[in-house]
């Protein structure tokens, strides 16, 4: 990374659970960061680490040309862009906005159109990994957008990501992430079902999960389940976020007339509660705005 690039400020909005370690890594890499955060403790913490703290997304846009957004959901992304003193009120031409949240494809594409009207570009950049991966600089970022915008984004996210996978135009990265989320959720159900079957056969959950992790039945979801102490802690920690991700995936697939029914059938029949009550899981379900939190399996 050259000195000129390092001196270019990175804008950041959304320093929550996943965003905070990203800002830590950006500052640790020597990049100046212009940060908008709502919580006083976050503002105080990063001010002490050298970030420039501003009072609105608008001010972030005024001071930086590459801006990272980590919204909680589609509604928060909309607020970051269009809300009071939002990003779009001051977004400069030729800026790049990197959007890391897991949001609906409809919301993502609407955001891209709004950014394009300002002469800027949006990178569809959902992430895969945990806080520990960000802290270690080993996050995976899926990247949809123009080659120029993705290249500029990749230079920035290299502070906390070891893998950037280009997927094509805006929207394709979010589709890849949503399919990935369905696979992760299905693997979690499979691991939980295996634990239940093992208990019926007199096998302790820890022994079974350890054996699966070392055998051909291993999966990332099963490994996480073992690390957190079994199916109950996993469900308490991950299920609220996975339910949101599954809902977004199902409705996004439905909006494209794609068929996720194999996944939804498995997710509804497994031991874990990974679908929201009342969610229409038919392939032709009309898209709706998702609710809830966002996970990054």
For 239-256, what is each residue's pLDDT tens digit? 888 898 899 899 889 888
pLDDT-derived band at 275, boundaries 50, 70, 90: confident
Q: Vertex 19, ends 178 and 105: CA angle to 5°? A: 25
The answer to whether 118 and 88 are in contact (CB under 8 A) is yes
Residue 289 clears pLDDT 80, i.e. is over it:
no
Residue 5 clears pLDDT 50, i.e. is over it:
no
Strand partners, 69: 13, 99
**What is the sign of the dihedral through the CA atoms of 116, 84, 10 and 134?**
negative
Show the 3-state SS of 218-234.
Answer: CCHHHHHHHHHCCHHHH
CATH superfamily ID and name for 3-170: NAD(P)-binding Rossmann-like Domain (3.40.50.720)
pLDDT-derived band at 72, boundaries 50, 70, 90: confident
Give residue for tokens 């590459």.
66
Residues 102-161 have pLDDT tens digits of 898 999 999 999 999 999 999 999 999 999 999 999 999 999 999 999 999 999 999 999
The answer to whether 61 and 68 are in contact (CB under 8 A) is no
Same fold, 3-170 and 174-269: no
pLDDT-derived band at 296, boundaries 50, 70, 90: low
Domains of the chain, by residue range, sit at 3-170, 174-269
For domain 174-269, which architecture applies? Orthogonal Bundle (1.10)
C-alpha to C-alpha distance for 271 and 249, rounded to whole angstroms:
20
């Amino acid at each position: 990374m050259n000195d000129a690039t390092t001196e270019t400020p990175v804008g950041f909005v959304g320093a929550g659970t996943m965003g905070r370690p990203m800002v830590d890594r950006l500052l640790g890499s020597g990049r100046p960061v212009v940060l908008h955060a709502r919580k006083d403790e976050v503002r105080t913490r990063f001010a002490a680490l050298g970030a420039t703290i501003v009072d609105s997304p608008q001010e972030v846009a005024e001071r930086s040309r590459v801006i990272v957004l980590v919204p909680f959901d589609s509604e928060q992304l909309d607020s970051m862009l269009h809300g009071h003193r939002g990003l779009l009120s001051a977004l400069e031409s030729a800026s790049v906005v990197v959007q890391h949240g897991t949001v609906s494809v409809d919301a993502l594409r609407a955001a891209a159109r709004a950014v394009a009207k300002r002469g800027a570009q949006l990178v569809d950049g959902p992430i895969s990994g945990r806080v520990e991966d960000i802290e270690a600089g080993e996050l995976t970022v899926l990247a949809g957008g123009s080659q120029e915008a993705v290249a500029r984004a990749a230079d920035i996210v290299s502070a906390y990501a070891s893998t950037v996978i280009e997927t094509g135009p805006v929207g394709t990265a979010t589709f890849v992430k949503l399919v990935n989320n369905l696979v992760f959720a299905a693997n979690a159900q499979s691991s939980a079902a295996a634990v239940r079957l093992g208990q019926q056969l007199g096998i302790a959950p820890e022994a079974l999960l350890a054996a699966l992790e070392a055998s051909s039945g291993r999966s990332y979801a099963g490994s996480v389940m073992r690390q957190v102490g079994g199916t109950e802690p996993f469900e308490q920690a991950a299920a609220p976020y996975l339910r949101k991700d599954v809902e977004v995936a199902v409705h996004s697939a439905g909006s494209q007339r794609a068929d996720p029914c194999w996944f939804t059938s498995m997710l509804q029949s497994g031991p874990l509660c990974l679908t929201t009550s009342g969610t229409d899981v038919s392939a032709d379900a009309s898209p709706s705005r998702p609710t809830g939190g966002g996970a990054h399996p």
